[in-house]
Structure 1
Amino acid sequence: MVLSSAIVNCMHYEDTEEYMYSIYAKRINGKFQPDSEALVLKLTVEEMEMKSIEVVEEKCPGFDYFLEIFVLKDFYEDLLKLEEFKSDTKKVERIIYYAEFDA
C-alpha cells in the first residue's frame, strides 16, 4: 500500500478497546511522500504503549511511525469541511505536512 491510500482510506479502520491502528511508512529522500510505501498496523493496547522504534524493530523494519489512525481521522474530518481541501491530493499533502511538522 502507498501512504496516500492509507490516508484516504483511514475511515475504514475502527479502533476498539483491545486494539488500535497506526500507520508506518518509509521515507523517500528523508521525507514522507504520497507514494511512500506504508503499512497500517493493528496494535494491541500493550503494543501501543511501546516506543514507536520498538514497534518498528519488531513489526516493520525500515519504516517510520507516521500517525495513529484516530488522530488522522480527526484531522481528515476537519479537512473535509474546508473548500481548499476538496481533492484527495490536497488532503494527502496537508496530512503529510501535519505528520512531519505539527504532530
Structure 2
Amino acid sequence: MTLSQAIIKCMDYIDTDESMYSIYAKKVNGRFRPDSEALVLKLTIDEMEMKSIEVAEKKCPGFDYFLEIFVLKDFYEDLLKLEEFKSDTKKVERIIYYAEFDA
C-alpha cells in the first residue's frame, strides 16, 4: 500500500477501547511521499504505550511513524469542507505536510 492509499482509506479504520490504528511509512530521501510504502498497524493497548520508534522496530523495521488514524480522520474531515482540497492529490499533499511539519 502507498501512503496516498492509506490516507485516502483512513475512514475505513475504526479504533476501539482495545486497539488503535496508526500509519507507518518509509521515507524517500528523508521525506514522506504520496508513493511511499505504508502500513496501517492495529496497535494494542500495550503497544500504544510504547514509543513510536519501538513499535516500528518491533512491527515494521525500516518504516517511520506517520500519524495515528484518529488524528488523520479529524484533519481529513476538515479538508473535505475546503474547496481548495477537493482532489485526493491535494488532500494527500496537505496531510503529508501536516504530518512532517505541524503534528
| TM bracket, shorter-chain basis | over 0.9
Identity, % of aligned positions: 84
Q: Which runs of 5+ in 2 are unaligned?
A: none
Please report the TM-score for the alignment, with normalisation by the length of structure 1. 0.99
Q: Which residue of 1 aligns with 2:66?
A: 66
Letter aligned with residue 30 of structure 1: G
Please report the TM-score for the alignment, with normalisation by the length of structure 2. 0.99
Alpha-carbon deviation of 1:28? 0.4
Q: Which residue of 2 aligns with 1:92?
A: 92
Q: Which residue of 1 aligns with 2:5?
A: 5
Q: State how far apart, in whole Å, the 2-side matches of 1:58 and 1:24 are.
A: 12
Letter aligned with residue 9 of structure 2: N
Structure 1 runs of 4+ with >6 Å offset: none
Q: Which residue of 2 aligns with 1:47?
A: 47
Q: State how far apart, in whole Å, the 2-side matches of 1:8 and 1:39 are.
A: 13
Alpha-carbon deviation of 1:24? 0.1
Instruction: Report the secondary structure of 2:39's partner residue.
Output: strand
1:33 aligns with 2:33: yes
Question: What is the aligned-residue RMSD (CA, Å)?
Answer: 0.3
1:102 aligns with 2:102: yes
Alpha-carbon deviation of 1:45? 1.1
Q: State how far apart, in whole Å, the 2-side matches of 1:68 and 1:11 are.
A: 12
